[in-house]
Amino acid sequence: MSSQVVPISVGKKVPFAFAQVSDEARQYVAEVLSSGWLTTGTQALMFENELCTTVGAAHTVAVSSCTAAIELSLRALRLRPGTAVLTPTMTFCGAVHAVVHAGLRPVFVDIDPVTLVPRPDQVTAAAERHRPGAMVVQHMAGFPAPVDVLAAAAELPLSRVVEDAAHALGARLGTRRIGALSAATCFSFYATKNLPIGEGGAISTDDPDLAGFVRSARLHGMSKDAWSRYLPGGSWRYTVEADGIKANLSDVHAAIGRGQLLHFGEWQRRRAAIAARYDEHLVGLAALELPARPSAGVHAWHLYVVRLVDPASAHRDDIIDALAEGGVGTSVHFIPAHRFPYFRRLLGESECSLCPEADAVADRIVSLPMHQGLDSEAVDYVCDRLAAATARFA
């Protein structure tokens, strides 16, 4: 299977996301289902090895989600309980929960309204409030955040940085692939991601000790997984030396991932072409600001996020509703985490009132349909409906 598009004509629906499944993925899953072994095994190991090649890292450990990947990576840093960890507020709530579940304290960092990732001055301001022991750097929407610059702004070595690359498989910072820049890089294979598996994640690293810890901690801290114990000649004995969790990836999911990975380069090129077509059609709309481009590197184009300028910003939700009426699916990435009641109770109202730029842009952003199955007619239709909606509510 080389390509798949979502047929679209004016008046039909354009989904926000659509998970393509390759023929190879179907074949590999069928082999797993007939093998008699469904949980973590040979398929997971092969998937990890293939991911190493994709991201350019020495080690990759497959896990159940990117949320689990972030938690396990932070646990691997061996920080004292309650240590401050910088994290952008413009992120998925699960990424912040991962900090809390690792026994650490999140410190929200404001974001640049154009790139949607923190600037160095914002990182420095947050670091001055709470001396951090680590930082989570997010590559928002697939935009490659300057990991080394942000680490320096926090006065942290790269060995104390964990990358949230849930959006960034295939991205590059300069000439370097996202995946081996910091202590650990965390990926997502959720159903809407660039490599859609349904569920799953991975941690890539060049640190063998970190990889070894995560490999054990993803399965209760046990010294042997079930596959190793149940092989002919294997021993049932194991020990537990770490405070682990249940976060391994099944062979069923790994088989899907292996089949999908065969088409990943082709799919990424299609996403870049879709982004370019959006640019071409939307650049003249005065009501919109288009996504930022990295000055050096490659955007992964997990999301195509437009920003509404004033006064249209007051009508963001009306525009989303108008697009929905025309059959165009959209989303918002994200509600700033500091707005949620749980984090306000956990960290205090004053700590959650320090991200004015995130607050200013949060009500102006819209994520347009972005998946490799979109054909040109679908992209053009989205642009036409968006132009009409912004004109209506300007």
User: Six-digit token pair at 24?
Assistant: 């190879």
One of 13, 193, 224, 246 is an active-site residue; which one? Answer: 193
Contact assessment for residue 362 and residue 336, using Cβ atoms and an 8 Å cutoff: yes
- Report which of 312, 280, 307, 302 is spatially closest to residue 291, judged by C-alpha positions: 307
Whether the ω angle into residue 311 lies within 30 degrees of 0, i.e. cis, is yes
- Is 184:203 a contact under the CB 8 Å cutoff? yes
Cα–Cα distance measured from residue 198 to residue 192, given in angstroms and rounded to the nearest whole number: 8
Amino acid at 306: V
Query: Do 66 and 201 form a contact (C-beta atoms < 8 A)?
Result: yes
If you ran DSSP here, which 8-state letter would residue 48 be given? H
381 phi, psi to nearest 5 deg: -65, -45
Task: For residue 47, give the 3-state DSSP assignment.
Answer: helix
Place of tokens 């990836």: 249
Other C-beta atoms closer than 10 Å to the C-beta of 373 total 20
179: its two tokens: 């995946």
Kindly state the tokens that stand for 125.
Answer: 């301001």
How many CB atoms lie under 10 A from the CB of residue 233?
A: 4
| Catalytic site includes residue 193 | yes
Amino acid, single-letter form, for residue 282: L
List beta partners, residue 86.
107, 135
How far is residue 26's CA from residue 23's CA, in Å, rounded to a whole number? 5
User: Which residue's structure tokens are 């190793």?
Assistant: 228
Catalytic machinery residues: 193
